[in-house]
């Protein structure tokens, strides 16, 4: 089974990710990974760190002469700030010692306080360094590998921002051919009027030192029928997707298809009708209400998942009341450098989380020690689809 593990703190030396279970023979270059990491740094409303953070990528193991070996793939992503600043060498040093600057005015909406209580820390940095969304860079590197594997069986995953603050996208859904257009929008919105409205909202929030959340839609094109299973709760693919998307920092809501909308409708209009397409020789559904998943199994239709991100909890003008854990007196939270919004970047992370779930399930279904075997098994299953 495909699995992965990330390690590393936001202002530490580097992030690392190990991806285990990829078949041998998958063509991978450092550029494939760098492109995805670069996409994750995009987005109007990101803070100053994104301008100098270079995601220095080193392939440590599992890839030889541009192909996976079937062994664990290990990737290191260096933090460029570590090299530039002595501050972080001292603050994040693994050597015995203590900080002169403990953070105790905990930020509402962050992991700071609950994490300090759970682990018995007196410095919020012991929590926030790992809770930070910097960790998603490591996930995106793993997800880039999953995307390359899925491409072998014709699956393409893209995302677009459909809401940022109160500004909504009104356009059509992008297809894989539209990815460059989506990425060219500063907020990764497929619709020009939506892009403009979103940028306007970000500028207004930035002026007030405030932050914004939003909603991203992830689309899986070419997802085959039969990934996931109805037989047990932890094999349902919608449940796996929900867990994967909800695990992204600051995501508080996940929807598959029109999940929340159909809850208020009658059953007669809340489901995707099925027809036989004689030309394509396959069953089709012309609507996407179920988001391409029925009974925890992919149907072969467009996969649709949405993730809602809360406004970032760090504010440039901290206004929410909190408590200083050292004195128990009321305080304003400590100030960290922050973004106004990270919704456009979250879309790229959401793509990679969906890719990792689909790639793991595709491998579970088709198996194969090398890519040719994986593809051959997938083709043979689809050539004999019943009924």
Nearer to ligand EPS, 317 or 385 (CB): 317
137 near ligand EPS (CB under 6 A): yes
Least gap, CB of 312 to ligand EPS (angstroms): 8
**Binding segment (CB under 6 A) for ligand EPS, from list 111-119, 132-140, 323-331, 370-378:** 132-140
Number of residues located near ligand EPS, criterion CB under 6 A:
13
By CB under 6 A, name the one of 258, 339, 351, 361 that touches ligand EPS. Answer: 339
337 near ligand EPS (CB under 6 A): yes
By CB under 6 A, name the one of 39, 107, 125, 134 that touches ligand EPS. Answer: 134
By CB under 6 A, name the one of 325, 338, 352, 363 that touches ligand EPS. Answer: 338
String of contacts with ligand EPS for each residue 28-57, x by CB under 6 A = -------------------x-xx--x----
351 near ligand EPS (CB under 6 A): no
126 near ligand EPS (CB under 6 A): no
Nearer to ligand EPS, 47 or 253 (CB): 47
133 near ligand EPS (CB under 6 A): yes
Least gap, CB of 364 to ligand EPS (angstroms): 30
Per-residue 3-state assignment (H helix, E strand, C coil) for the chain: CCEEEEECCCCCCEEEEEEECCCECCECCHHHHHHHHHHHHCCCCCCCHHHHCCCEEEEEECEECCEECCCCEEEEEECHHHHHCHHHHHHCCCCCCCCCCCCCECCCCCCHHHHHHHHCCCCCHHHHHHHCHHHHHHHHHHHHHHHHHHHCCCCEEEEEEEEECCEECCCCCCCHHHHHHHHHCCCCCCCHHHHHHHHHHHHHHHHCCCCCCEEEEEEEECCCECCCCCCCHHHCHHHHHHHHHHCCCCEEEEEECCHHHHCCCCHHHCCCCCEEECCCCEEECCCCCCCCEECCEEECCCEEEEEEECCCCCCCCCCCEEEECCCCCEEECCCCCCCCCCHHHHHHHHHHHHHHHHHHHHHHHHCCCEHHHHHHHHHHHHHCCCC
**Binding segment (CB under 6 A) for ligand EPS, from list 131-139, 163-171, 221-229, 251-259:** 131-139
String of contacts with ligand EPS for each residue 3-32, x by CB under 6 A = -------x----------------------
Nearer to ligand EPS, 150 or 250 (CB): 250
Residues that bind ligand EPS (CB under 6 A): 10, 47, 49-50, 53, 132-134, 137, 336-339
């Amino acid at each position: 089974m495909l699995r992965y593990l990330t390690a590393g703190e936001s202002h530490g030396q580097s992030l690392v990710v190990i991806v285990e279970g990829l078949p041998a023979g998958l063509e991978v270059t450092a550029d494939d990974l760098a492109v995805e990491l670069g996409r994750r740094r995009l987005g109007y409303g990101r803070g100053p760190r994104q301008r100098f953070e270079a995601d220095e990528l080193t392939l440590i193991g599992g890839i030889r002469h541009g192909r996976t070996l079937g062994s664990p793939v290990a990737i290191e992503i260096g933090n460029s700030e570590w090299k530039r600043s002595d501050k972080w060498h001292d603050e994040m040093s693994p050597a015995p010692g203590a900080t002169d600057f403990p953070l105790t005015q905990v930020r509402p909406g962050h992991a700071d306080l609950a994490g300090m209580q759970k682990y018995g820390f007196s410095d919020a940095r012991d929590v926030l360094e790992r809770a930070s969304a910097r960790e998603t860079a490591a996930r995106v590197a793993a997800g880039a590998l999953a995307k390359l594997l899925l491409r072998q069986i014709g699956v393409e995953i893209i995302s677009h921002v459909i809401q940022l603050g109160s500004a909504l996208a009104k356009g059509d859904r992008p297809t894989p051919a539209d990815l460059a257009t989506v990425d060219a929008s500063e907020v990764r919105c497929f619709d020009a009027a939506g892009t403009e409205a979103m940028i306007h909202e970000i500028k207004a929030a930035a002026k007030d030192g405030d932050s914004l959340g939003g909603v991203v839609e992830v689309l899986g094109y070419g997802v085959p029928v039969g990934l996931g299973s109805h037989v047990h709760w932890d094999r349902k693919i919608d449940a796996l997707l929900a867990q994967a998307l909800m695990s992204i920092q600051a995501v508080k809501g996940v929807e598959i298809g029109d999940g929340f909308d159909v809850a208020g409708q009658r059953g007669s209009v809340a489901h995707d009708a099925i027809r036989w397409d004689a030309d394509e020789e396959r069953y089709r559904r012309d609507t996407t209400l179920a988001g391409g998943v029925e009974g925890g199994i992919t149907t072969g239709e467009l996969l649709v998942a949405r993730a809602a991100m809360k406004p970032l909890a760090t504010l440039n003008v901290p206004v929410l009341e909190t408590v200083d854990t050292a004195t128990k007196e009321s305080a304003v939270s400590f100030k960290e450098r922050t973004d106004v919004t990270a919704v456009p970047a979250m879309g790229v992370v959401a793509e990679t989380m969906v890719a990792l779930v689909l790639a793991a399930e595709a491998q579970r279904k088709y198996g194969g020690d090398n890519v040719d075997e994986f593809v051959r098994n997938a083709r043979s299953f689809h050539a004999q689809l019943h009924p």
